Amino acid sequence: MKNKTLFIYNDSHIVGGHEILTVRIANYLAETHQLKVHFAFFCQDISGYLSEKIIPHVLPFHSKTKSLIHRGQFDIAFVKNLIVQIKPDLALIAQGYIESGVRGILGARLSGTRTVSYIPFGETNKELGNRYAAFRDLLAIPIYKLNHHYFTISKFQARALIKRVGSRPVEIINNPLSDQPIKPITPKGLDQARQSGQFSAAVIGRILFKQKNQNILIAVARMLKQQGLNVTFNIIGDGPDRAQLESQIQEHHLQNSFKMHGWMEKNAISKLLETEVDFVVMPSKYEGLPLVFLETVFSGLPILMSDLGFTTDYPIPDSWRFNPGSADSIVESIASLVNSETNQAMLRLQESVATTNSLSRFNQDITDFFSKLLP
């Protein structure tokens, strides 16, 4: 791979887990394998994560920009001309959904460059419950055929993606738990919380109801109070629906059931999980392979989560999984957890994550995959 040139395209307007992992891949290839890596992005926050060895290019548009013309030319032409100047051996298109990043795919193909898609979701929009699903899935059919190669983040997503892309190769670069080698924290159990009768849960992530589904916790908190279960939800994060969530908490007089923390530094989150939190709840409607899941497992805390596709890749107890559309299902899962022994299940989960999602495996997956494409 040494002395090869890689062009990476990410036109997301935010920095989320997928963008950070794309940067990690870019940094590893540039620093360890001496690839010449060009990284084109819209969101300025991405620049803060890039290695000094990465050559940055700022895009004048993002995937949700409605206008197709910027700086006096069509966006696809802008990407094509940029790639023609760089002359890469391969273009990596980091996509959230198959239709996002399509400007990058078309620009690369028009430049005659081989493309590989890095995509976290193999499911259809209908399967994910997205808006305008039928139209988007119809639009996606020809887009899936544009890339030469695909890689995704887990076995489940690979199985889903293979159904969409025909004969094109699909491989896996497993999401890493951390960018540094770490050891799991021994599970502490729930005995102390049971003795006090007070349980503390954490809900971590962007406050965005259409994906993260935090609004369902209003009904969950009301039902828990009716059953005499004292659970406080620590909402860690921010987002466009924060004000609405706070308003609903006030409206239903649930101030004692919620603590709003906003965004917190990683060390502060770790301290909160260690000292105040008994378990984590992840009510998302869809996820690829969330870092919250991986990090919670290694923190030694049980995690209750939506019964999503990625959960089939890990030994997660059935009672820890719930229907994200049902407050009753979430309450049942919480009630079961607070009355069960959790440590043995946690140890099995930690062993599975340590095997599948270690930093060393992530790095080896990157090396194996790109060695094939850039011999």
Burial of residue 335, with CB atoms counted within 10 A of its CB: 0-12 exposed, 13-18 middle, 19 or more buried: middle
Model pLDDT, residue 166: 87
Residues of the domain holding 28: 5-176+358-373
Residue 162 has pLDDT above 90, yes or no: yes
What integer is the mean pLDDT of 58-72? Answer: 93
Q: Given a cut of 90, is residue 289 above it in pLDDT?
A: no
Q: Which residue has the higher pLDDT, 39 or 180?
A: 39
Choose the most confident range, by mean pLDDT, from 132-141, 184-193, 241-250.
241-250
**306 φ, ψ to 5°?**
-60, 145
- Asked whether residue 369 falls in the same domain as residue 298, the answer is no
Token pair for 318: 């059935």
pLDDT of residue 157: 93
Cβ neighbourhood burial of 173 (10 Å; 0-12, 13-18, 19+): buried
- Residue 182 included in any domain: no
What's the token pair of residue 98?
A: 């198959």
- For residue 179, pLDDT over 80 is answered with no
322 and 273 inside one domain: yes
In this model, does residue 177 exceed pLDDT 90? no
Are 352 and 362 in a shared domain? no
Q: What pLDDT does 33 receive?
A: 95
Q: What is the C-alpha end-to-end distance of the chain, expressed in Å?
A: 6
Quickly state the pLDDT bin for 319 (edges 50, 70, 90).
very high
CB 160 within 8 A of CB 287: no
Give pLDDT tens digits for 198-235: 999 999 999 999 999 999 999 999 999 999 999 999 99
Both 23 and 38 in one domain: the answer is yes
The predicted structure's pLDDT at residue 202: 98
CATH of the domain at 115: 3.40.50.2000
Q: Which pLDDT belongs to residue 16?
A: 86
Average pLDDT over residues 262-286: 93
Task: Say if residue 286 is in the same domain as residue 335.
Answer: yes
Q: Is residue 185 part of a domain?
A: no
d(CA 314, CA 133): 28
Q: Residues 297, 362: one domain? A: no
Is residue 63, in this structure, part of any structural domain at all? yes
Q: Is the pLDDT of residue 126 over 90?
A: no
Residue 299 inside a domain? The answer is yes
Long-range contacts formed by 138-143: CB under 8 A, 24+ apart? 139/99, 140/97, 140/98, 140/99, 140/164, 143/98, 143/99, 143/102, 143/105
pLDDT in tens, 338-369: 999 999 999 999 999 999 999 999 999 999 99
Q: Looking at the structure, do residues 165 and 196 belong to the same domain, yes or no?
A: no
14 located within any domain: yes
Q: How many Å apart are CA 47 and CA 95, to the nearest integer? A: 18
Q: What is the mean pLDDT of residues 183-193?
A: 91
Q: How much is the pLDDT for 127? A: 84
CB 210 within 8 A of CB 285: yes
Q: What mean pLDDT, rounded, does the chain reach?
A: 94
Residue 5 CA to residue 27 CA, distance in Å, equals: 13
Per-residue model confidence as pLDDT tens digits over 8-64? 999 999 998 899 999 999 999 999 999 999 999 999 999 999 999 999 999 999 999
51 vs 28: CA distance, rounded Å: 9
**Whether residue 164 is found in the same domain as residue 243:** no
Half-sphere exposure (Cβ direction) of 68: Cα atoms closer than 13 Å: 8
pLDDT at position 315 is 96
Give yes or no: residues 152 and 272 share one domain. Answer: no
> In this structure, is residue 183 part of a structural domain?
no
- The reply to whether 92 and 156 lie within a common domain is yes
134 and 30 in a common domain: yes
Report pLDDT for 130.
81
pLDDT of 181 higher than 80: no
In this structure, what are the phi and psi dihedrals at residue 156, rounded to the nearest 5 degrees?
-60, -45
Q: How far is it, in rounded angstroms, from Cα 19 to Cα 8?
A: 11
The tally of domains found in the chain comes to 2
Answer whether 159's CB lies under 8 Å from 120's CB.
no
Same domain, yes or no: 131 and 209: no
- Measured distance CA(116)–CA(103) in Å, rounded: 14
Decide if 349 is inside a domain. Answer: yes
Q: What is the pLDDT of residue 188?
A: 86
Q: Is residue 186 part of a domain?
A: no
Give pLDDT, residue 281.
Answer: 98
- Name the pLDDT band for 283 (thresholds 50, 70, 90): very high
Residue 1: pLDDT over 90: no
